[in-house]
């Protein structure tokens, strides 16, 4: 799945995101609205990890979809 496809299915995939990153809130996901850079930033914020690690996690998650 490409990021563009994910953006089109954002409402459906929010549950997957909350399963993978349980610290993300509904408000976080509403703010992200399918934007990859915003998602990486929220993951960094909630999990106190480096940007490269957050990007790696997002890429790995996307590859599994």
pLDDT the model gives residue 8: 81
Please report, for the chain, the start and end positions of each structural domain, with discontinuous segments joined by +.
3-64
Q: What are the DSSP calls for 14-58, one per residue?
A: HHHHHHHSTT--HHHHHHHTT-HHHHHHHHHHHHT--HHHHHHHH
Per residue in 35-56, pLDDT tens? 999 999 999 999 999 999 999 9
Please check whether residue 31 is in contact with residue 42, taking contact to mean a CB–CB distance below 8 angstroms.
Answer: yes
CATH of 3-64, one of 1.10.10.10, 3.30.1300.10, 1.10.1470.10, 3.40.190.10: 1.10.1470.10
Which residues have a Cβ under 8 Å from the Cβ of 5 and sit 6 or more positions away? none
Q: What's this model's pTM, rounded to 2 decimal places?
A: 0.88
pLDDT, mean over the chain? 92
Mean pLDDT of 10-37: 93
Region 7-36 average pLDDT: 92
């Amino acid at each position: 799945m490409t990021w563009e496809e994910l953006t089109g299915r954002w409402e459906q995939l929010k549950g997957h995101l909350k399963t993978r990153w349980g610290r993300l809130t509904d408000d976080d996901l509403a703010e992200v609205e399918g934007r990859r850079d915003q998602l990486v930033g929220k993951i960094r914020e909630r999990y106190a990890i480096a940007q490269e690690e957050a990007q790696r996690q997002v890429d790995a998650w996307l590859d599994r979809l």
